[in-house]
């Protein structure tokens, strides 16, 4: 720890300077997707927008693989002006055009410059013009000779287009620019034609629907070849995003339901669980070798290319000759291409909920999903149970397979306990906004002595290997002292896409050697509203303070390497909450780290407080790295906190924090 402090102090001056840079993203797509909304109103963003306008051709499209944030020399600007009237290299490949449209939408939301609006609408018109009569899109438009004319699912090109048209046709608030009703109707027609094309191109293997190829012939709709090493094949990668798009369609037709069901079966059939990819990196972080290692019960992966006849994976070098394994091709293609993917795990993860919502049997084979392993709770009597706790009582103890309790929308006013023998349990809500578990216990109401706080939880999870998603978990007692919404003492617990509401002590995380994972959650409270001694990783969460107080109160055991780690989170607050600390130590060895987070102005400049425990200043570990926002003031933090170097921050990977107990249990797509 002493050595770490010295390293941190040595680099603090350089890091503090870097932290003030307005934009830390090097890749163009990251600049668009990862910057907060207010950044798009800065002078830096406006300067980049001028480049984006220059790169857009008059037809409406953009070229691909351009780092548009890079400064342009006068001669480059002149060249771009000269070719604007041409259609040179306009494409939707590698995210081109759709990502620039998103940039222009975010710019227009902050700066009402009509040029941004016009640019977006020209891009939309380009997408509409580029569509084939059969509903597909080529890789380049106007058409470029060669395989570029094929209907292109490769790198999710067509899915990106359809997602744009879906937002436009449904008139959502995703884009700040609102087209005319006529354009909205055109977008709806184009979207429907695109879905029709997807359904027509789903490959039949021995008469059974399976998945999709990266390219399909624009006339015959059959799988087609692209580059020499991209032979006609079923794609484990591109098919995943296609299915997720189909699953997002409201009130799906029978044809869409059939397509999704068959694709899901194919993904189950083709998953690989006995191989794991190992990468060797050089000092610059570049992959210099890939090897496939044999493992037992590995996290599922899929080959990118599979034989049309029998789903066997194959690999190709630039000579176009099929090989059976990755190690049989040269290092240039082996290391420079993505041959495996885990993207279909997102389909398998979401399938059960999608199936129930659309009246589809979760399994056509009763032996695949025993009744005891899928229970439904519904207040209207349409499920097997009207109370969540009753379904938990009915669930098998220490099951070998996952047990899912599907909870339909409703307000469930009950205290829920998942005992330690209900392992492998999933609580799956119908929707996070409308599937609500709530109770109103608090310290005074329970009145069981000095430890009354720990009896107040609305949902108490004591079991290992627990999952919850699509739920609101609320302690509704109001601002009346300690009152837990969610208490977790089990390990290997995953909470995703949930809303967790309370005031003081909203979320209690503990358990001996416990590892817990929160992803895409909204967590709200007042004082010490995330507290306890567990190791917990929070990713892409919104942490909302209701009043001026403290966010975290860790009680990390001395021997634990990690405590609470927040990555890519947003810290927000009510307007009245103007003085909020990142944390204070419940116990003196508290560990809390914020990495790549957006900190609102409510965060106090000093960041941390010692809770009148001088020993905590010597033993606690409070640190930050690469945060942004008005609340990130590293030069004003208390002197006993740390600003990490990149090397130090890299140690806070999901693998290091969570993986050592059971490999791959934590996966963000499981």
Three-state secondary structure readout of 207-243: CEECCCCCEECCCCCCECCCCCCCCCCECCCHHHHHH
| CA-wise closest residue to 175 among 183, 163, 187, 167 | 167
pLDDT digits (tens, 9 = 90+) for 314-359: 999 999 999 999 989 998 998 888 999 999 999 999 998 898 888 8
Strand-strand pairing, 374-377 and 403-407: parallel
Q: Are 485 and 509 in contact (CB under 8 A)?
A: no
Residue position matching structure tokens 């029998």: 310
- Distance CA(562)–CA(564), nearest Å, equals 7
3-class DSSP state for residue 625?
strand
Establish whether domains 35-199 and 202-359 are of one fold: yes
CATH topology of domain 369-508: Pectate Lyase C-like (2.160.20)
- Distance CA(240)–CA(267), nearest Å, equals 9
pLDDT digits (tens, 9 = 90+) for 239-268: 999 999 999 999 899 999 999 999 999 999
Q: Are 586 and 553 in contact (CB under 8 A)?
A: yes
Strand partners, 550: 581
Residue position matching structure tokens 């938990």: 392
pLDDT digits (tens, 9 = 90+) for 116-131: 999 999 999 999 999 9
How far is the CA of 630 from the CAs of 371, 575, 597, 600, 663, in angstroms? 52, 14, 11, 6, 38
CATH architecture of the domain with residue range 202-359: Alpha/alpha barrel (1.50)
pLDDT digits (tens, 9 = 90+) for 648-664: 999 999 888 986 444 44
Q: Which residue has the higher pLDDT, 93 or 23?
A: 93
Q: Are 346 and 240 in contact (CB under 8 A)?
A: yes
The one catalytic residue among 156, 342, 352, 505: 505
Q: Where are the beta strands (DSSP E) in 86-205?
A: 151-152, 204-205
| CA-wise closest residue to 591 among 527, 665, 657 | 657
Give the tokens for residue 408. 């339909």
pLDDT digits (tens, 9 = 90+) for 387-400: 999 999 989 888 88
CATH architecture of the domain with residue range 1-24+526-660: 3 Solenoid (2.160)
Give the tokens for residue 252. 């799906």
- Distance CA(390)–CA(375), nearest Å, equals 10
Q: Are 565 and 597 in contact (CB under 8 A)?
A: no
Strand-strand pairing, 315-316 and 322-323: antiparallel
Dihedral, 604, 606, 609, 614 alpha carbons, nearest 10 = -170
Q: Is 505 a catalytic residue?
A: yes
- Distance CA(299)–CA(85), nearest Å, equals 49
Q: How confident is the model at residue 25 (pLDDT cuts 50, 70, 90)?
A: confident
Global pTM reads 0.56
3-class DSSP state for residue 661?
coil
pLDDT digits (tens, 9 = 90+) for 573-624: 999 999 999 999 999 999 999 999 999 999 999 999 999 999 999 999 999 9
DSSP state of 327: G
| CA-wise closest residue to 91 among 65, 72, 116 | 65
| CA-wise closest residue to 266 among 307, 201, 306, 209 | 209
Q: Are 502 and 520 in contact (CB under 8 A)?
A: no
The one catalytic residue among 156, 441, 464, 528: 528
pLDDT digits (tens, 9 = 90+) for 500-527: 999 999 999 999 889 999 999 999 999 9
Which pLDDT score is estimated for 24?
Answer: 65
- The arithmetic mean of pLDDT across residues 80-101, rounded, is 94
Q: Is 366's pLDDT higher than 70?
A: no
Q: Are 470 and 498 in contact (CB under 8 A)?
A: yes
Q: Are 600 and 579 in contact (CB under 8 A)?
A: no
Which pLDDT score is estimated for 372?
Answer: 62
- Distance CA(188)–CA(165), nearest Å, equals 7
Domain at 35-199: CATH code = 1.50.10.20
- Distance CA(210)–CA(311), nearest Å, equals 10
Q: Give residue limits of the domains in the chain.
A: 1-24+526-660, 35-199, 202-359, 369-508
């Amino acid at each position: 720890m002493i050595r770490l402090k010295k390293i941190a102090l040595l680099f603090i001056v350089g890091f503090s300077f870097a932290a003030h840079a307005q934009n830390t993203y090097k890749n163009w797509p990251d600049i668009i997707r990862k910057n907060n909304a207010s950044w798009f109103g800065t002078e830096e963003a406006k300067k980049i927008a001028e480049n984006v306008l220059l790169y857009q051709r008059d037809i409406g499209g953009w070229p691909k693989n351009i780092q548009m944030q890079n400064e342009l020399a006068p001669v480059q600007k002149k060249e771009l002006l000269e070719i604007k009237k041409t259609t040179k290299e306009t494409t939707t490949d590698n995210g081109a055009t759709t990502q620039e449209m998103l940039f222009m939408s975010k710019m227009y939301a902050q700066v009402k410059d009509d040029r941004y609006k016009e640019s977006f609408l020209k891009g939309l018109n380009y997408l509409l013009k580029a569509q084939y009569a059969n509903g597909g899109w080529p890789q380049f438009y106007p058409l470029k000779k060669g395989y570029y004319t094929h209907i292109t699912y490769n790198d999710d090109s067509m899915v990106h287009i359809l997602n744009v048209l879906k937002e436009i046709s449904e008139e959502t608030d995703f884009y700040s620019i609102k087209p005319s009703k006529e354009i909205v109707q055109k977008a709806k027609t184009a979207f429907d034609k695109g879905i029709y094309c997807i359904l027509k191109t789903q490959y039949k293997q021995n008469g059974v629907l399976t998945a999709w190829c990266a390219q399909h012939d624009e006339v015959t709709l059959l799988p087609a070849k692209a580059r020499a090493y991209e032979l006609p094949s079923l794609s484990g990668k591109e098919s995943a995003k296609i299915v997720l798009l189909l699953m997002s369609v409201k009130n799906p037709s029978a044809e869409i339901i059939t397509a999704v069901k068959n694709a899901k079966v194919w993904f189950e059939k083709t998953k690989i669980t006995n191989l794991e990819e190992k990468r060797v990196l050089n000092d610059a972080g570049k992959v210099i070798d890939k090897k496939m290692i044999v493992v037992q019960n590995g996290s599922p992966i899929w080959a990118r290319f599979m034989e049309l006849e029998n789903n066997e994976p194959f690999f190709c070098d630039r000579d176009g000759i099929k090989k059976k394994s990755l190690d049989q091709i040269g290092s240039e293609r082996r290391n420079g291409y993505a041959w495996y993917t885990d993207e279909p795990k997102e389909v398998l993860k979401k399938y059960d909920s999608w199936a129930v919502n659309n009246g589809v049997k979760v399994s056509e084979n009763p032996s695949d999903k025993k009744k005891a392993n899928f229970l439904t709770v519904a207040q209207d009597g349409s499920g097997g149970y009207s109370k969540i706790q009753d379904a938990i009582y009915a669930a098998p103890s220490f099951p070998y397979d996952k047990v899912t309790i599907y909870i339909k929308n409703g307000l469930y006013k009950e205290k829920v306990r998942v005992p330690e023998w209900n392992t492998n349990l999933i609580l799956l809500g119908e929707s996070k906004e409308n599937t609500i578990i709530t109770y109103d216990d608090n310290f005074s109401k329970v009145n069981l002595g000095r430890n009354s706080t720990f009896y107040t939880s609305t949902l108490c999870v004591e079991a290992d290997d627990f999952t919850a998603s699509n739920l609101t978990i609320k302690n509704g007692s109001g601002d009346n002292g300690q009152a837990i919404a969610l208490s977790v003492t089990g390990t290997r617990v995953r909470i995703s896409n949930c809303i967790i509401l309370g005031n003081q002590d909203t979320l209690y995380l503990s358990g001996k050697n416990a590892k817990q994972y929160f992803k895409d959650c909204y967590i709200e409270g007042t004082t010490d509203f995330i507290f306890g001694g567990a190791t917990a990783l929070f990713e892409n969460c919104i942490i909302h303070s209701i009043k001026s107080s403290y966010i975290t109160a860790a009680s990390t055991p001395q021997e634990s390497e990690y405590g609470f780690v927040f990555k890519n989170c947003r810290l927000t607050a009510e307007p009245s909450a103007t003085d909020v600390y990142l944390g204070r130590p419940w116990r003196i060895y508290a560990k809390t780290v914020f990495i790549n987070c957006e900190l609102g102005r409510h965060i106090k400049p000093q960041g941390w407080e010692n809770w009148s425990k001088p020993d905590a200043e010597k033993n606690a570990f409070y640190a930050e790295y690469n945060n942004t926002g008005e609340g990130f003031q590293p030069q004003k933090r208390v002197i006993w906190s740390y600003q990490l170097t990149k090397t130090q921050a890299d140690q806070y990977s999901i693998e290091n924090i969570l993986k050592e107990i059971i490999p791959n249990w934590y996966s963000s797509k499981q």
